[in-house]
Chains A and B, each alone.
Chain A
């Protein structure tokens, strides 16, 4: 039997959740307003601000860049992150303890310090051009998610299954792809999604690395916001929220959202 939670607490919690959800509802409302300025409640309903997004070349090109960065950066981070996570779990005793700390450094160091340092060293000193610099930044930024989430799912994997396959003559690499990987599939999907979302929303690292001609969508939004204050901003936000909803649906279908409270 459980105690009933006090109605006062429930009422306060309801207000807190209202506070969390209302601003997003306001953005959706403002994106539909038939005015040239941002208005809520919307005056007249129109979808023209959504069409306006596609008329603005800067939004189109930066959206493509952001998407490419998120896919490539996340893939790169998984390519180096999965072997690292595997090694951490398989050779827990043999490998030094500090190694797992090294992999999570990108979230321990303040993002803005990381972005600034990367700009100074990679873009300026080494002269790496804009897109590869951004790619390095994003891949590093999301590496902790790849290592930690894949590691968490490897922690419950029974390595004796792998040993059995190998001792029966299966080559190690083939064993990894046919025995280990299928067992950590959900972890890899979760890592991909968390990393993808982190990359596509990133501001603090990208702000130093974007340059003439190449920018990301959040940086473009930030720049647009300083000059204009029209419903296009709200409609771009709504499109990004639709992407988030789609992602949440995938998480729910593969892992269940409660996974995120662990």
Chain B
């Protein structure tokens, strides 16, 4: 076939991405460099504002904590799923997939019922006498982190199940029967083989939580503003489009830096894998 055929097939989707994604996003980034006070003026303003820095650091902190907890929970759950007998395995996979396919609004809303002033957790603690009056748990950093861990653990589990299933049982057996303790087996055999999966899972969870909007909006409110909610507020409430674009550019910078750094790391730790 002639060469125009392959381009005729490949082009419509590529043009759609260029016109509706690359050009608009490039436009957003470009508007941040048009300040008469200097090319980097909006970024200097961003960095000099204590409030904006706080939002950035809070978002980084929440995303890192979420990633760390999801890694831990996801690894244990995925290990058990990967070693579970056939029927049990399918049930557990369904239990992980179902929340993943349920909307983010619904999953965040569930935590409003649990953590609210008259919520399940407060009522329970009042009932057992652990507290004498309801604790304010909504609109705290803790509430956002719990909901984010809830949101992203299924993603981590599904990413890791495939990788952990690929670790041959014989290898684990051999290590144990040659006298390595379970801890040493984990550290020297299982963990190194799981690294590619751990890196992919971490990138997905970190970028997902770093750029999230709905969960901090519902459970963090104005008090626990994150980059996503901050961008929305700047763009749609105060109509400061340059400010919003600066936040957008910082978000892109952080996510791309993390993706590139982690795929470099993956390549160094595992030269065979093509990240």
Show the binding face of A for B, using Cβ within 8 Å.
Answer: 1-3, 5-6, 9-10, 12-13, 16-17, 19-21, 23-24, 26-27, 30, 37-38, 40, 80-81, 83-84, 86-88, 90-91, 94-95, 99, 102-103, 105-106, 108-114, 116-122, 136-137, 139-140, 143, 147, 172, 197, 200-201, 203-204, 207-208, 218, 221-222, 225, 229, 233-234, 237, 240-241, 244-245, 247-248, 257-258, 260-262
In angstroms, Cα B9 to Cα A83, docked, is 5
Q: Is the CB of A23 within 8 A of B110?
A: yes
Q: Which of B93-101, B129-137, B264-272 contacts A (4 or more CB under 8 A)?
A: B93-101
- Chain A: minimal CB distance from B101 (Å): 5
Q: Which residues of chain B from 190 to 208 have any CB-CB distance to chain A below 8 Å in the complex?
A: 207
Which residues of chain B from 240 to 275 have a CB within 8 Å of any chain A CB? 241, 244-245, 248, 251-252, 255-256, 259
Instruction: Evaluate contact between A112 and B10: CB separation under 8 angstroms.
Output: no
Tell whether, in the assembled complex, residue A136 and residue B20 are in contact, meaning their CB atoms are under 8 Å apart. Answer: yes
Within 8 A of A (CB), among B1-36: 1, 3, 6-7, 9-10, 12-14, 16-18, 20-25, 27-28
Output the nearest chain A residue to B99 by Cβ-Cβ distance. Answer: A20
A99 to B27, CA, bound (A): 21
Residues of A within 8 A of B154 (CB): 20
CA distance A81 to B112 in the complex (A): 38
Q: Given A120-B28, A237-B106, is A16 in contact with B12 using a C-beta cutoff of 8 Å?
A: no
* Interface residues as binary, B170-206 with A (CB distance below 8 Å gives 1, 0 otherwise): 0011001000001000000000000000000000000
Question: Given A136-B20, A240-B103 in contact, is the A208-B83 Cβ separation under 8 Å?
Answer: no
Most buried by A among B12, B17, B214, B245: B17
Q: A40-B120, A118-B20 are in contact. Are A225 and B102 (CB under 8 A)?
A: no
Give B201-227 as 1s and 0s: 1 = Cβ < 8 Å from A's Cβ atoms.
Answer: 000000100111110011000000000
Q: Which of B40-48, B50-58, B228-236 contacts A (4 or more CB under 8 A)?
A: B228-236
Structural contact, A91 and B105, CB atoms closer than 8 A:
no
Contact (A116, B20) CB under 8 Å given A110-B251, A237-B109: no
A-B interface, 7 closest residue pairs, ranked by CB to CB distance from nearest: A23-B110, A110-B211, A201-B103, A13-B80, A117-B24, A84-B13, A121-B24
- Which residues of chain B have C-beta atoms less than 8 A from A10's C-beta? 80
With a cutoff of 8 Å between Cβ atoms, the chain A residues found around residue B14 in the complex are 84, 99, 102-103
Q: B101-135: which have CB < 8 Å to A?
A: 101-107, 109-114, 116, 118, 120
Is B248 a contact partner of A80 (Cβ separation < 8 A)?
no
Whole-angstrom CA separation of A91 from B11 in the bound complex: 13
Q: Which of these, B76, B101, B165, B172, contacts A9 with CB under 8 Å?
A: B76
Residues on the A chain within 8 Å of B231, using CB: 112-113, 116
Q: Is the CB of B6 within 8 A of A94?
A: yes
| A140 and B17 form a contact (CB under 8 A) | yes
Contact B217 A113 (CB under 8 A): no
Q: Which residues of A contact B106 (CB under 8 A)?
A: 24, 27, 221, 237, 240-241
Contacts from B to A (Cβ < 8 Å): 1, 3, 6-7, 9-10, 12-14, 16-18, 20-25, 27-28, 73, 76-77, 79-81, 83-84, 90, 92-99, 101-107, 109-114, 116, 118, 120, 150, 153-154, 158, 161-162, 165, 169, 172-173, 176, 182, 207, 210-214, 217-218, 228, 231-232, 235-236, 241, 244-245, 248, 251-252, 255-256, 259
When distances are taken between beta carbons in the complex, the residues of chain A under 8 Å from B207 are 110
Given contacts A87-B6, A244-B98, contact A103 B241 (CB under 8 A): no
> Which of A21, A99, A118, A261 has the most chain B CB atoms inside 10 A of its CB?
A261
Q: What are 15 A-B residue pairs whose CB atoms fall within 8 Å in the complex?
A: A27-B113, A80-B13, A106-B21, A110-B228, A110-B248, A110-B252, A113-B28, A117-B24, A120-B24, A121-B23, A203-B213, A221-B106, A221-B109, A229-B112, A261-B161
Q: Give chain B nearest CB distance to A254 CB in angstroms.
A: 15
Q: Which residues of A contact B118 (CB under 8 A)?
A: 37
Q: Which of B28, B90, B118 has the most chain A CB atoms inside 10 A of its CB? A: B28
Bound CA span A260–B207, Å: 20
CB contact under 8 A between A117 and B248, given known A3-B172, A218-B103:
yes
Q: Which residue of A lies closest to B146 (CB)?
A: A19
Check if B93 sits within 8 Å of A260, measured CB to CB.
yes
Q: Are B17 and A225 in contact (CB under 8 A)?
A: no
In the bound complex, how far is the Cα of B15 from the Cα of A81, in angstroms?
A: 12
Per the bound structure, the CA–CA distance linking A130 and B60 in Å amounts to 33
Q: Which residues of A contact B3 (CB under 8 A)?
A: 94
Distance, CA A113 to CA B79, complexed state (A): 35
Smallest CB-CB separation from A21: which chain B residue?
B95
CB within 8 Å for A108 and B17 given contacts A248-B94, A260-B93: no
Known: A110-B251, A204-B228. A120 touches B27 (CB 8 A): yes
CB-defined contacts of A244 to chain B, threshold 8 Å? 98, 101-102
Q: Is the CB of A114 within 8 A of B25?
A: yes
Contact, CB under 8 Å: B79 / A9 = yes
